[in-house]
Structure 1
């Protein structure tokens, strides 16, 4: 009797895996899975493979070199400078790109005239072409540009914004903050709608003022939203390419060269594809760590 039951279990399991609903689910999922495999998983796997080779446009030119490309990264002063530039650019962009929209969202969440118009105005940078915005910023901050004209009008000497190693990076940071502000604003406005009004009412009954309600009600309620905004903004800055390409080209003296532009330069200017793939793998690893942190934070909340 027991042997009959044991024989039935595998058969039932197989029939469950091959029932009509399961087959239908796999049929509907297969187009998405195929696209995911072809356009995401395969390129990532090939990138990892390429980072261990010399790299080439043709398979005949590919030669296995092991960890040599990663060793070259470790001993390259240019790569460490680019990493420092990227870290500086990311931190200096993420903090204002989260703090400013958060404050604006709290203000715009209240009912007042022109609220809808202001929301639309703040979102315009997010739908503006980054290349067009970069050209506009380059025109504004060139030596004889509008910004220096304004400074001259108040008695300040012109600044070589894009030729000075101290000022070129802040211009890129300012453009990135301007670009990301509207997206994060919309994210925070959506997050504010998820906080129950009863929490604010309870805080008012306890005698909390506006600052205390923001600190003890709004911020804890927005914790998942803040984590999401930080991660998405960090990923946006880590993959920044257009700003550098259009405005500075990595100069002056490599002071604005970011990791994505460095990968592009090594691959398509120096034709060192294996080394560029190793640098891109480092960027991928950092991005995956950020995504993992966001997912873990979401589970904890």
Structure 2
């Protein structure tokens, strides 16, 4: 057997266990999910119903509200969690007092359970919680944050941003470390100010890192379930009912597995489309 063919067989042999696990726990569940979305959802003897589940979804006013909530939650979480993390990384990549302590403090929310975080924030934003106690010092009347159709979504966005910002911070600090310092030195000699250095050196230098952070943050936001489940339960009046919670609610609350599978397929396609768009904008990096 030629050495090239022997190496190919060896490579496939070593990859086989990972490919088998990937097929069993990723590819097969995804294929089963898509297939289930075209049935009535019966787990014992499913009946093929074609596109009826999708037609029911997209003609439902509540599902359109869910899609709007998901888009609002995603945009409201991704933009600050990436932007603030990048700003903090630029500051902490320089010599500042207590830099190591600040890095640890920013990363700490990443290792905290989302359920624990949801319970904590629910307590903080309780009508008798600390947030209202602090705002009352400024003469502001207590607000029922999680019972308000206007304030419930911003609180969820705050939790998602707080949770993700530490992970993005670590990613950006690593990316900034790969940008040669000689570029900044040359820019200073040419009289470039801090903003010009950031725009013309930092951003182009960490472009692949920025795209990676955007993609992972979007995926994290799309799959955020625990804060909604713990803090609002999709309410009030459905204003925080996002897609992943809707999938769970249809499956395990109403036992409409066909509708749930169709909604989950929409979620899967949405993640793939958004990721593909980000890669396309980035030029395939």
Task: Give the TM interval when normalised to the shorter protein.
Answer: over 0.9
| Structure 2 residue aligned with 1:129 | 113
1:62-92: CA deviation from partner (whole Å, max 9, x where unpaired): 1000010111111010100000000001101
DSSP-derived class of the 2:39 partner: coil
1:32 maps to 2:18: yes
Q: Give the stretch that moved more between structures: 74-83 or 143-152.
A: 143-152
Question: Is there any run of 5+ residues in structure 1 with no aligned partner, and where?
Answer: 1-14
Q: Is the 8 A contact 2:107 2:167 kept in 1?
A: yes
Q: Pick from 63, 86, 94: which aligns with 2:70?
A: 86
1:277 maps to 2:258: no
Q: Is the 8 A contact 1:227 1:297 kept in 2?
A: no
| Structure 2 residue aligned with 1:56 | 42
CA distance in 1, matches of 2:161, 2:275: 21
| Structure 2 residue aligned with 1:220 | 204
CA distance in 2, matches of 1:299, 1:81: 33
CA distance in 2, matches of 1:104, 1:259: 31
Q: Is the 8 A contact 1:224 1:297 kept in 2?
A: no
| Structure 2 residue aligned with 1:3 | none
Deviation at 1:232, TM superposition (A): 1.1
CA distance in 1, matches of 2:2, 2:56: 53
1:167 maps to 2:167: no
| Structure 2 residue aligned with 1:259 | 243
Deviation at 1:270, TM superposition (A): 0.8
CA distance in 2, matches of 1:84, 1:19: 52
CA distance in 1, matches of 2:255, 2:3: 49
Q: Give the stretch that moved more between structures: 290-299 or 132-141.
A: 290-299
1:187-232: CA deviation from partner (whole Å, max 9, x where unpaired): 1101101111121122112111112111111112122222211111
Q: Is the 8 A contact 2:211 2:279 kept in 1?
A: no
Q: Is the 8 A contact 1:55 1:63 kept in 2?
A: yes
DSSP-derived class of the 1:240 partner: coil
Q: Pick from 225, 231, 240: which aligns with 2:224?
A: 240
Q: Pick from 9, 17, 37: which aligns with 1:23?
A: 9
The two structures have a TM-score, normalised by structure 2, of 0.96
Moved over 3 A (4+): 15-19, 293-301
| Structure 2 residue aligned with 1:203 | 187
CA distance in 2, matches of 1:169, 1:55: 31
| Structure 2 residue aligned with 1:43 | 29
1:288 maps to 2:272: yes
Deviation at 1:46, TM superposition (A): 0.5
The two structures have a TM-score, normalised by structure 1, of 0.91
1:109 maps to 2:81: no
Question: Is there any run of 5+ residues in structure 2 with no aligned partner, and where?
Answer: none
RMSD of aligned alpha carbons: 1.5
CA distance in 2, matches of 1:163, 1:239: 23
Q: Is the 8 A contact 1:82 1:262 kept in 2?
A: yes
Q: Is the 8 A contact 2:85 2:165 kept in 1?
A: yes
1:109-141: CA deviation from partner (whole Å, max 9, x where unpaired): 002331111101100000000000000000010
